[in-house]
């Protein structure tokens, strides 16, 4: 049997691989996966609305539904976009099976074999995995505290005529926790306009801001309809329901709908109705406030402990929201070797190297603070501090 060429460029997720090692150690504390806090999943509320849906509209919830998505939910998503100062109608929305599916479809939309995809350096590992089967080349552009270094982007665009798409996570990014400044967002739009490139703006963490003012999404600043905005209910409601959306130009949305027909016909009808009913019955703002309250405490705790316990040569980012922070060890330190020693202490994290599309940077680590309890953060970061202090 001959397999397709794309399989040779696909590789397993470093997070899921680390996850397997962690799962093999019962009681292991994990700062590896990007999981929301289990305490914040509104199980009882979802049970009640599910009961209601099944009693009143069971035959709709368990039947095939429209490819575009559950109409009442689409209407609510239009309002969510309007609150972000994005002018949208139902024609601008496609519901997807998490924003992960929207990332995959976006590569299908714009990328042919051999084309270049621009990402941040480092970028979301799941996006790199979604793009790889399209047999593209990556150009990771370095980031600083204000976002992508746009002079580097311009230098790449001047030389490379094969760039077809720019993918960014401008708010509380996975993996670094960093957020783009307003100026960088405007400038990115300007550059993308000059080269007539689409920007895929992936924003699953935008609502989870602990402090400071909201910065407009790139989509809200976009006057040329070149931004494909990806939203998700995973981080503010229930990741397991797999409900996300695309907001984009209506001609593109028509094409996304055709992709959706071929991929899975529609997103899970019951899950879409559960999200819709939750928005009818409960206050999503309250849910988000609770998430912010809990994650802020954990962010504060993890940052304080890193500053106290890690060797002074270790650098960290300063996330103002979201679920992650990013660690940089001195050059020459190999985070994957340290991971093996950390696992012996029953603590896990993800080495940062795989988040760089063009490789290198083995001295980096992503730490998640949303999933573990405060007690586990104290114990786990303490153990990592002792390990790192012994090692370098």
Ligand X SMILES: Cc1ncc(COP(=O)(O)O)c(C=O)c1O
Three-point CA angle 216, 176, 170, nearest 5°: 20
CA–chain centroid gap for 296, Å, is 18
Nearest of 124, 34, 40 to residue 369 by alpha carbon: 34
Segment interacting with ligand X, rule: CB under 6 A, options 46-54, 96-104, 190-198, 209-217: 96-104
Nearer to ligand X, 245 or 388 (CB): 245
Buried b (16+ CB within 10 A) or exposed e, 66-88: ebbbbeebbebbbebbeebebeb
Nearest of 242, 212, 221, 211 to residue 168 by alpha carbon: 221
Under rule CB under 6 A, residue 99 binds ligand X: yes
Q: Which residues ranging from 105 to 134 are in contact with ligand X (CB under 6 A)?
A: 124, 126
Segment interacting with ligand X, rule: CB under 6 A, options 95-103, 135-143, 190-198, 208-216: 95-103
Nearer to ligand X, 203 or 363 (CB): 203
Segment interacting with ligand X, rule: CB under 6 A, options 176-184, 208-216, 231-239, 371-379: 231-239
Nearer to ligand X, 175 or 351 (CB): 175
The distance in angstroms from the start CA to the end CA of the chain is 49
- The residue nearest ligand X at its CB is 98
Segment interacting with ligand X, rule: CB under 6 A, options 50-58, 68-76, 93-101, 384-392: 93-101
* Residue written as token pair 């109608």: 89
How many CB atoms lie under 10 A from the CB of residue 214?
Answer: 11
Residue 329 to residues 81, 158, 351, 389, Cα–Cα distance (Å)? 39, 33, 11, 11
CB of 352 to ligand X, least distance (A): 15
CB of 243 to ligand X, least distance (A): 8
Under rule CB under 6 A, residue 239 binds ligand X: yes
CB of 1 to ligand X, least distance (A): 31
Q: Which residues ranging from 290 to 329 are in contact with ligand X (CB under 6 A)?
A: none
Under rule CB under 6 A, residue 202 binds ligand X: yes
Segment interacting with ligand X, rule: CB under 6 A, options 45-53, 144-152, 232-240, 294-302: 232-240
CB of 32 to ligand X, least distance (A): 12
Residue 179 to residues 174, 213, 237, 243, Cα–Cα distance (Å)? 10, 12, 22, 24
Nearer to ligand X, 13 or 50 (CB): 13
Nearer to ligand X, 103 or 333 (CB): 103
Q: Where are the beta strands (DSSP E) in 187-295?
A: 199-202, 227-232, 244-247
- Residue 7 DSSP one-character state: G
Nearer to ligand X, 157 or 165 (CB): 165
3-state secondary structure of 153: helix
Nearest of 392, 375, 238, 247 to residue 310 by alpha carbon: 392
Query: Which of 30, 67, 171, 232 is the binder for ligand X (CB under 6 A)?
Result: 232
Q: Which residues pair with 316 in a beta bridge?
A: 327
Under rule CB under 6 A, residue 60 binds ligand X: no
Encoded one letter per residue, x for contact with ligand X by CB under 6 A and - for no contact, window 24-53 reads ----------x-------------------
Under rule CB under 6 A, residue 244 binds ligand X: yes
Nearest of 35, 79, 54 to residue 284 by alpha carbon: 79
Record the tokens describing residue 359, joined without a space.
């490789």
CB of 377 to ligand X, least distance (A): 19
Binding residues for ligand X (CB under 6 A): 34, 98-100, 124, 126, 169, 174, 202, 204, 232, 234, 239, 244
């Amino acid at each position: 049997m001959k397999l397709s060429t794309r399989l040779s460029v696909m590789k397993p997720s470093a997070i899921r691989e680390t996850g397997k090692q962690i799962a093999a150690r019962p009681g292991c504390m994990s700062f590896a996966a990007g999981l929301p806090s289990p305490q914040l999943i509104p199980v009882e509320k979802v049970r009640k609305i599910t009961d209601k849906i099944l009693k009143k509209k069971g035959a709709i919830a368990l039947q095939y539904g429209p490819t575009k998505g559950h109409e009442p939910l689409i209407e609510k998503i239009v309002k969510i976009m309007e609150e972000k100062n994005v002018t949208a109608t139902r024609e601008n929305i496609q519901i997807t099976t998490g924003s992960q599916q929207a990332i995959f479809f976006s590569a299908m939309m714009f990328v042919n074999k051999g084309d270049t995809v621009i990402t941040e350096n480092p970028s979301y590992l799941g996006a790199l995995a979604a793009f790889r089967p399209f047999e593209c080349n990556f150009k990771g552009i370095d980031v600083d505290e204000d976002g992508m270094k746009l002079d580097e982007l311009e230098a790449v665009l001047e030389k490379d005529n094969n760039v077809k798409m720019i993918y960014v996570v401008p708010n509380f990014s996975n993996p670094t926790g960093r957020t783009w400044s307003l100026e960088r967002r405007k400038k990115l739009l300007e550059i993308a306009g000059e080269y007539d490139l689409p920007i895929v703006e992936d924003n699953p963490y935008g609502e989870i801001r602990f402090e400071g003012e909201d910065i407009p999404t790139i989509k809200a600043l976009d006057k040329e309809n070149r931004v494909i905005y990806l939203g998700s209910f995973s981080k503010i409601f229930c990741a397991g329901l797999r409900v996300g959306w695309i907001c984009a130009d209506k001609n593109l949305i028509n094409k996304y709908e055709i992709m959706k027909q071929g991929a899975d016909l529609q997103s899970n009808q019951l899950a879409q109705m559960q999200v819709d009913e939750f928005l009818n019955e409960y206050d999503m703002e309250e849910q988000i406030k609770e998430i912010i309250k809990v994650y802020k405490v954990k962010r504060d705790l993890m940052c304080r402990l890193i500053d106290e316990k890690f060797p002074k040569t270790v650098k960290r980012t300063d996330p103002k929201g979201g679920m992650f922070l990013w660690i940089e060890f001195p050059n020459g330190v190999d985070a994957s070797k340290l991971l093996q020693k950390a696992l012996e202490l029953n603590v896990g994290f993800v080495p940062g190297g795989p988040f760089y599309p063009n490789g290198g940077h083995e001295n980096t680590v992503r730490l998640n603070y949303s999933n573990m309890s405060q007690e586990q953060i104290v114990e786990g970061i303490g153990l990592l501090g002792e390990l790192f202090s012994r090692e370098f």
